[in-house]
Amino acid sequence: MQKTSIYSFLLLLFTLAATAQAPKKPTASEIYHNLQKLNFVGSALYIAAHPDDENTRLISYLVNDVHANTAYLSITRGDGGQNLIGPELRELLGVIRTQELLEARKTDGGQQFFTRANDFGYSKNPDETFEFWKKEDVLSDVVMTIRKFKPDIIVNRFDHRSPGSTHGHHTASAMLSLEGFDLANDATKFPESANEHGTWKPQRLFFNTSYWFYGSKEKFEKADKSDHVKVEIGNYFPSLGLSNGEIASLSRSMHKSQGFGSTGSRGSETEYLEILKGSKPSDNNLFEGINTNWSRLEGGNEIAAILKPLEENFNFENPSQMLPQLLEAYPLVSNLKDKHWRAIKLAQLKQLILDCGGIFLEAVSEENTINPNDNFNVTVEAVNRGGNSVALKSIKNANGKALWNTTESLPFNNKKNIELTLRSEKNTPPYSSPYWLNEKGTVGMYAAPKKLIGLGETPVFEQLIFELQFGNTVIPFTKDIIYKFNDPVKGEVYRPLEILPKVTASIPEKVLIFADNSSRNVSVIVRAGKDNISGNVSLKYPEGWKIEPSQQNFELSRKGETKTFSFKVTPPNNQSEGYLQTIINAENETFDKELVLIDYDHIPYQSVLLPSEAKVAKIDIQKKGQSIGYINGAGDAIPESLKQIGYSVTTINPSNISEQSLKGFDAIVVGIRAYNVVSDLAFAQPILNKYVENGGTMIVQYNTSHDLVTKDLAPYSLKLSRDRVTDEFSDVKFLSPKHPVMNTPNKITQADFEGWVQERGLYFPDEWAKEFTPILGMKDSGEAQTKGSLLVAKYGKGHYIYTGLSFFRELPAGVPGAFRIFANMLSIGK
Ligand SMILES: [Zn+2]
């Protein structure tokens, strides 16, 4: 399921920026739209928990209709979601969803912030959420964002008053917003960010409600709305050629990994906002009573006197004729006393000066990646396509050091190219990989350097400052140095210029299970991050394990070249878990990172550095039977895991299930959600039951309780529910400790439930025929005990097992206890 051309098509619909990262090249009417935003002095902050929680209709309305400076604060980066476009999960999915949010904001015009909280998976209520998130740290990040962004109004997506009615992260995001709203104005709370950004008192806090929160449209219609503000958000913007609903859909469609492609709407639409703090506006203007004109700022009236008439008499035919007025406003905006608004308005004004002036500035690196302290060549392009006289005065690096300072005028439409050689400075962090993955965090929190907290992505390291001279006015413009190339199919493709290590390594197999004492050969791939590099590679390993040879030499001549090495790994006699880590010594440095590349058309190309490691587990495990038939469901890695402990696994085509085709298997295992997605199973069930009756073992993994292809998924009656246990540390009670599945061939103990990841299980049955024996009891705190996570029934001469335990997460994560229980299930009756 890799990216399809539909994605690029959608992107082309909205903007010339066909690939992520390409510069925006606004039309005259889009410049007009941006001037309208320049003339609005007010801010709105939207707060929710995940990428894709945000209501893009309201965000687009605030940006494009109200013209407010608007941002979305997503508490997490969405690591816990699913991925519909590729194999990346967990932190790599978080990287994709972060970039999807950034692209969504580029589309609707907002900005994007995050906290350090990690989307660790589902939680039923905010109490559980706060057990994993360090509440004080997340709150500190929320307060810091409010102080830094200084919103006049804050809008919550979720209701802080209804814990348990939605994902715990959702309710928690609203609770944090509510607390942060007051704390931001108290200098004694989180004094560090108060010192840096000052305190801030937003004027209003809203809850962006809808019928969804009331259970039905009918209930919502009847609800008391005296505290609600009703906003028309269905307007059409002629300068953009799009209605608000159309922009919102283009923005929402960036959440491609979540399958949130969305079709635009036109015509009148309403949003409801319930006032939580501050005064309810008397009309439908969310900013009512808040001065959002230039007169809000000391010195603002003079600026308004120049820029307001420019908006009223906008020159659509030749925006460059408005440059003199923009240049007149420039020193006034530069001298604004209000530091916060000065930075925002100066950035907007400078972009308008370039866009109106028809001035194109670009710095392109010859190489796509460089190493720290590396020399690299850059080609600068500067061209003045407007009717004003402009000179290029100097080009400086980001530290202000002049690289070129021969003042030269830029004649009309005459392209100027300048070749420069630069040296990359030593940065912290040293590499341009996502900053929140540089250090190991906890299950619930990312580690991040203080100055980067809240930022969407690692700031671009390599930039150039162009000083342009307009008459007597000199204005500096900062531009990221980029990399681009021509693709015969896609055309001009932009990529970030990245600073990466000289060499990286990886162990392609991420979890290695040893079911007995025999050794295995493990591959290590070494990848050059520069031309001509040599050194040696070795493996760090847990105590008791043996690695041969201890190190191997490598020599690579081309950047990007790889070589594979094999190490013989021997486990200890007893059960043992740990990590193998690759260590490379080269050019008097040590390198321990793996490079993962993420390449989709809708987001910028991503180079992610992760610890180069693989989990190894020696499991004390006995098993019976050998040959497993597997019926795939929605997709899981159970077959690979079973092969690792020595089973032979054959995939069974569900449309060809017959008594004959099932003969010879010691057990049949059904993949996750198979009864939700494989319609053929509705017809195959009698044959599968017959297989069990004749002495076979059948194991069915979790299915969701709705949308089943058949209700008869077992030889006896069984009703699925939404019962789940999300706390992976929760106690497990042995309901039938004498049952064979708990005793043979492996004696299951409490230790087998240690080290589980993300959850215990989901969609447990809550009613079953008396033939079933419930084996395990478990629950989340404050809830009733579930007994349906593992149910075993004898049927004829065989055994039928239904289990909602999350083996699809635990086995690929190398959890020994989960392997031992699975082996017992497969061995039953043998
Ligand atoms: Zn969500």
Higher pLDDT, 424 or 12: 424
The reported pLDDT for the residue numbered 429 is: 78
Ligand 1: distance of its center to the CA of 173 in Å?
10
161: which residues sit within 8 A by CB, 6+ positions away?
none
CA of 749 to the centre of ligand 1 (A): 36
pLDDT bin (cut points 50, 70, 90) of residue 19 is: low
Is the pLDDT score of 800 beyond 80? yes
How far is Cα 474 from Cα 669, in angstroms, rounded to an integer? 72
Going from the Cα of 127 to the center of ligand 1, the distance in angstroms, rounded, reads 16
Is 11 a residue whose pLDDT tops 50? no
User: What is the Cα–Cα distance from 278 to 260, expressed in whole angstroms?
Assistant: 34
Q: Residue 196 is encoded by which pair of tokens?
A: 């840096």
- The reported pLDDT for the residue numbered 706 is 87
Q: Is 80's pLDDT higher than 50? A: yes
Between the CA of 597 and the centroid of ligand 1 the distance, in Å, is: 26
Question: 395 with 362: CB under 8 angstroms?
Answer: no
Amino acid, single-letter form, for residue 547:
I
DSSP state of 95: H
Length of the chain counted residue by residue: 830
> What's the CA-to-centroid distance between 102 and ligand 1, angstroms?
17
pLDDT of 611 over the 70 cut: yes
The pLDDT, as a whole number, for residue 84 is 87
Distance from residue 440's CA to the centre of ligand 1 (Å): 24
Q: What tens digit of pLDDT does each residue of 93-143 get? A: 999 999 999 999 999 999 999 999 999 999 999 999 999 999 999 999 999
- The tens digit of pLDDT for each residue in 313-326 reads 999 999 999 999 99
Centre of ligand 1 to C-alpha 232, Å, is 25
Ligand 1 mean position to 245 CA, how many Å? 21
Count other C-beta atoms under 10 Å from residue 729's C-beta. Answer: 11
Segment holding 765, helix H or strand E: strand 761-768
| Tokens, residue 565 | 């090495």
Determine the distance separating the centroid of ligand 1 and the alpha carbon of 171, expressed in angstroms.
10
Measured distance CA(689)–CA(771) in Å, rounded: 14
Token pair of 335 as six digits = 């001298």
Residue 830 contacts by C-beta under 8 Å, 6 or more apart in sequence?
624, 625, 666, 697
| Contact between 436 and 447 (Cβ < 8 Å) | yes
- For residue 72, the CA-to-ligand 1 centroid distance in Å is 13
Asked if the model's pLDDT at residue 10 lies above 80, the reply is no
Contact 793, 700 (CB under 8 A): no
Residue 78 CA to ligand 1 center (angstroms) comes to 8
CB 735 within 8 A of CB 780: no
Rounded to whole angstroms, the Cα distance separating 140 from 143 reads: 5
Contact (Cβ atoms closer than 8 angstroms) between residue 365 and residue 480: no
Quote the ligand 1 centre to 87 CA distance (angstroms): 21
Neighbour-count burial for 475-504, b at 16+ CB within 10 Å, e otherwise: beeebbbbbbeeeeeeeebbbbbbbbbbbb
Q: Give mean pLDDT, residues 505-521.
A: 96
Q: What angle do CA 808, 814, 817 make, to 5 degrees?
A: 85
Query: For residue 25, what are its two tokens?
Result: 């090249």
Q: pLDDT tens, 547-559? A: 999 999 999 999 9
Report the Cα–Cα distance between both ends of the chain, in Å, rounded.
40
CA of 813 to the centre of ligand 1 (A): 25
- Tell me how far apart the alpha carbons of residues 678 and 655 are, in angstroms, rounded to a whole number: 9
375 CA → ligand 1 middle, Å? 44
Ligand 1 midpoint to CA 258 (Å): 11
Does residue 666 contact residue 648 with C-beta atoms inside 8 Å? no
Is the Cα dihedral 584, 587, 593, 598 positive or negative?
A: negative
Return the bridge partners of 590, or none. Answer: 585
Contact of 789 with 807, CB cutoff 8 Å: no
In the reported structure, the alpha carbon of residue 784 is separated from the centroid of ligand 1 by a whole-number distance in angstroms of 26
The DSSP output letter for 436 is G
Kindly report, residue by residue over 167-192, the tens digit of the pLDDT: 999 999 999 999 999 999 999 999 99
% of the chain with per-residue pLDDT over 90: 93
From ligand 1's centre to the CA of 724, what distance in Å? 18
Cα of 255 from ligand 1 centre, angstroms: 12
- What is the average per-residue pLDDT within 720-729? 94
Q: What is the pLDDT of residue 20?
A: 60
What integer pLDDT is reported at residue 436 of this predicted model? Answer: 97
Residues in contact with 9: Cβ distance below 8 Å, sequence separation at least 6, in sequence order: none
Per DSSP, 65 falls in state: I
Query: What is the 49 CA–ligand 1 centroid distance (Å)?
Result: 6
In the reported structure, the alpha carbon of residue 165 is separated from the centroid of ligand 1 by a whole-number distance in angstroms of 13
Beta strands in 301-415 (DSSP E): 359-365, 369-370, 375-384, 391-397, 402-404, 408-409
What's the 50 CA to ligand 1 centre distance in angstroms?
5
Instruction: Let me know: does 44 contact 354? Beta carbons within 8 Å.
Output: no
Cα–ligand 1 centroid distance for 61 (angstroms): 21
Q: Are 643 and 682 in contact (CB under 8 A)?
A: no
Say how many Å lie between the CA of residue 248 and the centre of ligand 1.
17
- Tell me the average pLDDT of the chain: 95
Residue 476 above 90 pLDDT? yes
In the structure, ligand 1 is a single-atom ion and the residues with CB under 5 Å from it are 50, 53
pLDDT given for residue 7 in this prediction: 39
Amino acid identity of residue 16, one-letter, is L
**What are the helix (H) ranges across 109-253?**
126-132, 135-149, 168-183, 191-197, 217-222, 244-252
Q: Give the integer Cα–Cα distance in Å for 435 and 451.
A: 11
755 φ/ψ sector (left φ>0, alpha ψ -120 to 50, else beta): left
Evaluate the CA torsion angle 181, 186, 192, 195 in order and state its sign.
positive
- Considering only CA atoms, which of 457, 579, 569 is closest in space to residue 520? 569
Q: What's the 280 CA to ligand 1 centre distance in angstroms?
A: 27
Among 657, 779, 769, CA closest to 717: 769
Identify the helix (H) or strand (E) that includes residue 790.
strand 790-795
CA-closest candidate to residue 457, choices 441, 444, 438, 443: 438
CA distance 479 to 770: 71
- 115 CA distance to ligand 1 centroid (A)? 15
Map 111-149 to HEC letters: EEEECCECCCCCCCCHHHHHHHCCHHHHHHHHHHHHHHH
Cα separation, 229 vs 208, in Å, equals 10
Tell me the average pLDDT across 640-658: 95
pLDDT of 4: 39
Å from CA of 47 to ligand 1 middle:
11
Residue 1 has pLDDT above 60, yes or no: no
CA of 65 to the centre of ligand 1 (A): 26
Confidence of residue 12 (pLDDT cuts 50, 70, 90): very low
CA distance 55 to 44: 13
Q: How far is the CA of 170 from the centre of ligand 1 (A)?
A: 6
Assess whether the previous peptide bond of 476 is cis (omega < 30° from 0): no
Peptide bond into 488 cis (omega under 30): no
- Closest alpha carbon to 696 in 801, 797, 821, 622: 797
498: confidence class by pLDDT, cuts 50, 70, 90: very high
Residue 786 DSSP code = B
Tokens of 315: 């020159």
pLDDT surpassing 80 at residue 14? no
Cα of 100 to ligand 1 centre, how many Å?
14
State in Å: Cα 129 to ligand 1 middle. 13
Q: 169 C-alpha to center of ligand 1: Å? A: 7
Helix pair angle (5-14, 244-252), 10° resolution:
150
C-alpha to C-alpha distance for 668 and 629, rounded to whole angstroms: 5
Q: What is the side-by-side order of every strand in the sheet holding 520-528? A: 503-506, 520-528, 562-570, 546-548
CA of 311 to the centre of ligand 1 (A): 39
256 CA → ligand 1 middle, Å? 15
Separation of CA 553 and ligand 1 centre (Å)? 48
Task: Say how many Å lie between the CA of residue 663 and the centre of ligand 1.
Answer: 45
Quick one: pLDDT at residue 568? Answer: 98
What's the distance, CA 152 to chain centroid?
28
- Residue showing tokens 């990989």: 433
d(CA 210, CA 156): 12
- Distance of CA 89 from the midpoint of ligand 1 (Å): 16
Whether cis (ω within 30° of 0) applies to the bond prior to 126 is no
Backbone angles phi, psi at 468, to 5 degrees: -105, 140
Burial of 337 (C-beta count, 10 Å sphere; 0-12/13-18/19+): exposed
213 C-alpha to ligand 1 centroid (Å): 14
Query: Quick check: 159 and 174 in contact, CB under 8 A?
Result: yes
Render the burial of 598-610: b for 16+ CB within 10 Å, e for the rest: bebbbbbbbbbbb
d(CA 135, CA 801): 41
Q: Is the CB of residue 422 less than 8 Å from the CB of residue 375?
A: yes
CA of 52 to the centre of ligand 1 (A): 7
C-alpha of residue 453 to centroid of ligand 1, in Å? 21
Per the CB < 8 A criterion, the answer to whether 591 and 638 are in contact is no
3-state secondary structure of 420: strand
758 conformational bin, left if phi > 0, alpha if psi -120 to 50, beta if neither: left
Q: 564 burial class (0-12, 13-18, 19+ CB within 10 angstroms)?
A: exposed
